Amino acid sequence: MKGKCYIQGMAAISPQHTFDGDLLSQPMAVTQGNMLSCVEPDYRAFIAPNSLRRMTRVLKMGLAASLKCLQDAAVAVPGAIVTGTGKGSLQDTERFIKEIRDFEERALNPTPFIQSTYNAVNGLIALQQKCTQYNNTFVHRGFSFEHALLDSMLLLSEGKPDVLAGAFDEITTEHFFIKGRIGHWKKETISSDTLYEHVSPGTISGEGAAFFLLTQEATAQSYAQLSGLQMLYKPSPEKLQHALGQFLTQHGVQPEDIDLVLSGANADSNHQHYYDVLNSYALGTQLPFKHLCGDYETAAAFALWLGASFLKQQQVPLQWFPMLKEQPRSLRNILIYNHFFGEQHSFMLLQKVDQTVSIKG
């Protein structure tokens, strides 16, 4: 793909303290139980009380994260708003469905119906920022965020100066129960910080919202360059291994150039073998991240936020990664590999913004 893609601003709401303060000084939030919930900020700083009263959780999370991301990049009206979500607003969907049952399909409230649509967050961002530009939401299960990212990169290569890209997903008690019935979650109840000690069928659930202001050109404030993105649907481990080698070659990177791999490994014994493919290359340190955010369709957005933070700060918050005993020797290239229950797989290549290229601002 011609053109470049830089992360100029970003914000995340997650089960960790990612929204406010300094990443390096925040303690790791640990959840006892298999359902990780977001640490939510005070939304009143971002959303008017009259609007806030109507919004459910994921809408508030998505809107607040997007607004903080725009603030971070000092951009008021982005050239496009592109998001991905696996489930949209579950709370609204559940409320609307329950009301259909309780009121026998009559006297239904409009609000949960309106907000249960997947593009509700995009609409709220556009209304709040008075943005009449391109606006799209991708709902493609484990590829939702990746497709939003791909669309954003295409828009940049077509000449859009900047694009607001993001992802949001929530978990509810009811949905946790439903997905538990098809074996998504571990049967044993664990503490999130001991996730990788419990390799067994299923994983832990999570949620989060992360937004990125992507631009064609770097500035001194840029977090990182998103140099590559690739998606693979239900690959065999052999095909995955071959594709990873090709992906690195295509982007002019040797396996040994990768300083850090953020892997979506989640202690799910049903799909662990895919992550073992990473071991067939001489890559740098592998760090799993699902103990921090749990698993959900758009968890790769959290990984992208983490990777870009590491590159900007040139440090890894060691308190979040007890498996890492010391800081990596250098942090220039980060590979993110994630998959969603063995079906949707993705690679992302994040690179430190090269100080030798011309930087604006």
Partner 1 sequence: MEELKQKLKVQIIEALNLQDTRPEDIDDNAPLFGDGLGLDSIDSLELMVLLERYYQIKVEDPREGRKILQSVQSMAEFIQSKQPA
Binding site for partner 1 (CB under 8 A): 49-50, 53-54, 103, 106-111, 114
Q: CB nearer to partner 1: give 111 or 157.
A: 111
In the complex, minimum distance from the CB of residue 154 to partner 1, in angstroms, rounded to a whole number: 35
Q: Output the CA–CA distances (angstroms, integers) from residue 51 to 18, 185, 272, 341, in the order listed.
A: 24, 35, 43, 36
Q: Which of 142, 231, 235 is nearest to 184 (CA)?
A: 142
In angstroms, what is the minimal distance from the CB of 106 to partner 1? 7
3-state class (DSSP) for residue 285: strand
CA–CA distance from 95 to each of 118, 138, 213, 302 (Å)? 15, 23, 32, 27
Question: Long-range contacts made by residues 97-101, C-beta under 8 angstroms, separation at least 24?
Answer: none
Which CA distances in Å does 103 have to 89, 109, 294? 21, 10, 35
Quick one: 53 or 101, whose CB is closer to partner 1?
53
Shortest distance (Å) from residue 110 CB to partner 1: 5
Shortest gap between Cβ of 129 and partner 1 (angstroms)? 19
Both structure tokens of 22: 């300094």
Identify the three-state secondary structure at position 345: strand
Tokens of 42: 């005070």
Which C-beta is closer to partner 1: that of 32 or that of 50?
50
- The residue among 103 and 177 lying less far from partner 1, judged by its C-beta, is 103
- For the CB of residue 108, give the shortest distance to partner 1 in the complex, in Å: 7
We find the least distance from the C-beta atom of residue 128 to partner 1, in angstroms, to be 15
C-beta of 50: minimal distance to partner 1 in Å? 6
Residue with Cβ nearer partner 1 (21 or 49): 49
Contact 10, 305 (CB under 8 A): yes
Between 54 and 360, CB nearer to partner 1: 54
Write out the two tokens for 104: 């026998």
Q: What are the helix (H) ranges across the chain?
A: 49-52, 57-73, 90-102, 110-116, 120-129, 144-157, 173-181, 237-250, 272-276, 290-293, 299-313
Please say which residue, 109 or 327, places its beta carbon nearer to partner 1: 109
Alpha-carbon gap, residue 211 to 301, rounded angstroms? 8
